[in-house]
């Protein structure tokens, strides 16, 4: 594969990972906002904390995939 093809493949992979990562990150950020405003003893707070925990678990493999895609993108850039 030539350098341009590798670059395009890496860029596509990076975009795909980011598209999958973004909705999960937005859910986690929304949960943090709830934690900032809800009473700690409320059901809303507990639900947001649970959502954040799930989000962290889901985001971990996406983060790993993003890191790999970034590394590949960086390695495959045309000179």
* CA atoms 71, 72, 73, 76: torsion sign: positive
| Residue 15 pLDDT > 90 | no
Dihedral in degrees, nearest 10, Cα atoms 40, 31, 51, 26: -170
* Phi then psi dihedrals of residue 39, to 5 deg: -70, 135
- The pTM of the full predicted model, rounded to 2 decimals, is 0.69
Residues 23-70 have pLDDT tens digits of: 988 999 999 999 999 999 999 999 999 999 998 888 888 888 778 878
């Amino acid at each position: 594969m030539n350098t341009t093809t590798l670059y395009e493949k890496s860029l596509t992979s990076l975009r795909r990972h980011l598209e999958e990562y973004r909705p999960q990150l937005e859910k986690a950020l929304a949960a943090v906002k709830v934690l900032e405003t809800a009473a700690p003893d409320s059901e809303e707070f507990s639900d947001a904390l649970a959502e954040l925990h799930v989000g962290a678990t889901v985001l971990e493999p996406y983060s790993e995939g993003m890191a790999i895609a970034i590394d590949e993108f960086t390695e495959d850039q045309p000179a």
